[in-house]
């Protein structure tokens, strides 16, 4: 038995670390959502869907611009020394995933903006000839394929970064997992596909997105299993971290809201929808999106609570 | 280049908190925060109990995760003594360094930047001891160059049984506690 008494009582650190509140989970969720949207819109761009057809792929860059700005707003609110935020863009720290992420966020904007520009009908841009010429160039099939590939690549980088940001902070045992980057990426893809499904007008697109989302949800379940197994088969510190989700204080919220309502139930509903057993419903994709948000809240909160147990 | 570190004799430390008060005074640490603190570990079961008192602070690790995770380079290893410091003018207050420290040694200063023990670098560069070491009434704390085999800290580490805090976190801390 070891009883530890300390005179330290620093805010945000004691009695257990809680440096990140709602802002970071919301930022990670929105970042993942944008990442998923970029991959999906990139896929549609590569397949040659042209603007004016009402293709969902052409709506996503606009929504991505709004979501990314909201996410960066949440990130800004989390900073404690806000007036110095410009310092982040005077350097690239190779060992810091947060530094890489800051630059990836800057890269995301132009690719989203080009995708958005391509979706504007030519006559609306007649007053800005330079923009109209650029939009025309982006709509060129060869350029559109290139832009689609770039959107997929940047989207994957953004999605993985949201997980690696946490997993690089090895002092928090729950986050110290290589599965966290792929998990957050696939969760972002799932959220993006669910949202695209909600706003899609075309039945064929809805079906494609539905099936893609089902694949993402199955992969997400597998990654969650790997994440937990990886911790359980590591040392005592990591097993204790996993125990936070397996009997500990985060068990109910994780299994009910993230796994049950966020993955398993919508997967079951969407599988029935894909087999045409039930009509299309927005319940399942909305549950998927809420599950993605719950995943970020649980992992960020439980990860901060996890710690090295050795005295 | 020197590699500064500290050796603390737990047999001499009585937990008087002089080191804590000296640090707060010397470094103008704001109310409600501390850069160093006292911990008491009660180990064993009745009647075989052992109480260990430790004066703790940033361990100025050899592989500091707070430095590698910093997105602006504000957290850095100082050229003098390889002391881990924070450049307040570069810190954006993202708190990644707080999350990366297994010791919970950092905090956010009310002005918004990450703050922690500096080994009193402003005194050390003038040839003085850190404030906590200078005031310790039982002389339980020794400060010096860990790379110099002739230094008092190296001699103590070589001659006495000692332990590190959370060695399995892999950060290679530079504060050694004599048993």
Q: Which CATH class is domain B4-178?
A: alpha beta
Q: By CA distance, what is A100's nearest residue in B?
A: B71
Q: Which residue has the tokens 């160093």?
A: B36
Q: In angstroms, rounded to a whole number, what is the distance separating the alpha carbons of residues B29 and B105?
A: 14
Contact B23, B58 (CB under 8 A): no
Enter the ipTM: 0.91
Give residue limits of the domains in chain B: 4-178
Joined together, the tokens standing for residue A48 give 């040659």
Joined together, the tokens standing for residue A247 give 């009997």
pLDDT confidence band for A212 (50 / 70 / 90): very high
The predicted model gives A177-195 an average pLDDT of 96
The predicted model gives B114-135 an average pLDDT of 97
Is B61 a residue whose pLDDT tops 70?
yes
Surface of A (104-163) touching B: CB under 8 A: none
Contact B174, B3 (CB under 8 A): yes
Task: Give the minimum alpha-carbon distance from B96 to chain A in angstroms, rounded to a whole number.
Answer: 8
pLDDT confidence band for A98 (50 / 70 / 90): very high
Task: Give the minimum alpha-carbon distance from A26 to chain B in angstroms, rounded to a whole number.
Answer: 15
pLDDT confidence band for A311 (50 / 70 / 90): low
Is B79 a residue whose pLDDT tops 60?
yes
Of A4, A7, A98, Cβ closest to residue B94: A98
DSSP state of A210: H
A94 has a chain B CB within 8 A of its CB: no
Of A20, A80, A168, Cβ closest to residue B112: A80
Helix, strand or coil, per DSSP, at residue A6: strand
Is A51 a residue whose pLDDT tops 70?
no
**What is the set of domains in chain A, with CATH numbers?**
23-305 (1.20.1630.10)
Query: Between chains, do A311 and B68 touch, taking CB under 8 Å as contact?
Result: no
Q: In angstroms, rounded to a whole number, what is the distance separating the alpha carbons of residues B80 and A112?
A: 46
Contact A6, B104 (CB under 8 A): no
């Amino acid at each position: 038995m070891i009883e530890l008494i300390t005179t330290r009582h620093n805010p945000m650190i004691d009695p257990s670390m809680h440096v990140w509140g709602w802002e970071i989970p919301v930022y990670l969720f929105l970042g993942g959502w944008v990442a998923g949207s970029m991959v999906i819109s990139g896929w549609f761009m590569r397949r040659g869907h042209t603007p004016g057809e009402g293709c969902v792929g052409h709506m996503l860059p606009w929504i991505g611009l709004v979501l990314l700005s909201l996410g960066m707003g949440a990130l800004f609110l989390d900073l404690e020394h806000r007036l110095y935020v410009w310092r982040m863009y005077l350097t690239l720290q190779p060992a810091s995933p947060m530094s890489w992420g800051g630059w990836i966020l800057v890269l995301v904007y132009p690719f989203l903006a080009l995708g958005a520009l391509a979706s504007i009908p030519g006559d609306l841009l007649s007053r800005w000839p330079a923009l109209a010429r650029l939009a025309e160039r982006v709509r060129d099939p060869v350029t559109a394929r290139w832009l689609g590939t770039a959107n997929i690549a940047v989207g994957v980088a953004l999605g993985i970064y949201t997980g690696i940001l946490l997993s690089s902070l090895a002092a928090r045992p729950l986050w110290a997992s290589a599965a966290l980057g792929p998990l957050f990426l696939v969760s972002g893809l799932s959220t993006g596909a669910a949202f695209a499904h909600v706003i899609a007008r075309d039945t064929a697109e809805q079906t494609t997105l539905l099936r893609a989302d089902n694949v993402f949800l199955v992969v997400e379940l597998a990654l969650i299993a790997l994440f937990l197994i990886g911790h359980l088969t590591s040392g005592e510190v990591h097993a204790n971290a996993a125990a936070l989700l397996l009997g500990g204080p985060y068990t109910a919220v994780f299994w009910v809201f993230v796994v049950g309502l966020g993955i398993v139930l919508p997967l079951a509903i969407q599988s029935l929808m894909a087999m045409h057993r039930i009509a299309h419903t927005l319940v399942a994709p909305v549950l998927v999106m809420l599950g993605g948000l719950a995943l970020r809240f649980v992992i960020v909160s439980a990860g901060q609570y996890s710690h090295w147990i050795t005295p | 280049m020197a590699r500064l570190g500290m050796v603390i004799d737990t047999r001499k430390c009585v937990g008087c908190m002089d080191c804590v008060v000296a640090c707060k005074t010397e470094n103008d640490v704001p109310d409600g925060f501390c850069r160093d603190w006292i911990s008491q570990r009660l180990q064993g079961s009745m009647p075989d109990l052992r109480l260990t008192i430790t004066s703790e602070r940033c361990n100025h690790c050899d592989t500091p995760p707070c430095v590698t995770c910093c997105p602006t380079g504000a957290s850095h290893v100082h050229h003098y003594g390889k002391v881990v410091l924070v450049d307040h003018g570069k810190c954006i207050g993202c708190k990644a360094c707080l999350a990366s420290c297994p010791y919970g040694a950092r905090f956010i200063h009310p002005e918004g930047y990450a703050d922690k023990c500096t080994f009193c670098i402003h005194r050390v560069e003038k040839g003085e001891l850190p404030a906590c070491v200078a005031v310790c009434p039982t002389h339980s704390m020794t400060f010096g160059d860990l790379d110099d085999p002739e230094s008092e800290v190296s001699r103590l580490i070589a001659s006495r049984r000692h332990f590190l805090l959370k060695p399995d976190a892999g950060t290679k801390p530079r504060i050694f506690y004599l048993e």
